[in-house]
């Protein structure tokens, strides 16, 4: 694939600029060093929801919130599933069948 001199210089300049300004960005506050999310747990938070609820982000690839049929009083783990560009929330959730209830 031939590349023009103008395209080469544009790519080189953008690469140099991104390398020069990367140190100014502090991403350490966004991601924990262990790969886990840092959250503050609300002790008085309660939910009356159970089963599946569409998030209303837009059909046909809307997000789905699924809770166990019996919501325990103790804190529950959170599992976030991400599908690829051609996937859907329904197909991804069906792969885990009964895991939310377990």
* Tens digits of residue pLDDT in 40-94: 767 776 776 778 888 887 777 778 888 887 777 777 777 777 777 778 878 888 8
* pTM flag (> 0.85): no
> DSSP assignment of 46-86, as one string?
-----EEEE--S-SSS--EEEE-SS--SS----------TT
- pLDDT in the model for residue 92: 80
What CA–CA distance (Å, rounded) separates 54 from 77?
20
Side-chain-facing half-sphere of 17: CA atoms under 13 Å: 6
What CA–CA distance (Å, rounded) separates 51 from 65?
8
């Amino acid at each position: 694939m031939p590349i023009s001199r103008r395209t080469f210089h544009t790519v080189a300049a953008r690469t140099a600029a991104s390398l020069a300004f990367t140190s100014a960005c502090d991403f350490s506050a966004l991601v924990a060093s262990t790969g886990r999310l840092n959250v503050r747990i609300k002790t008085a938070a309660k939910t009356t929801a159970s089963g599946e609820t569409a998030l209303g982000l837009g059909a046909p690839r809307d997000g789905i919130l699924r809770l166990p049929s019996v919501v325990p009083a103790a804190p529950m783990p959170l599992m976030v599933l991400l599908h690829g560009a051609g996937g859907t929330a329904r197909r991804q959730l069906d792969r885990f069948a009964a895991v939310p209830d377990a």
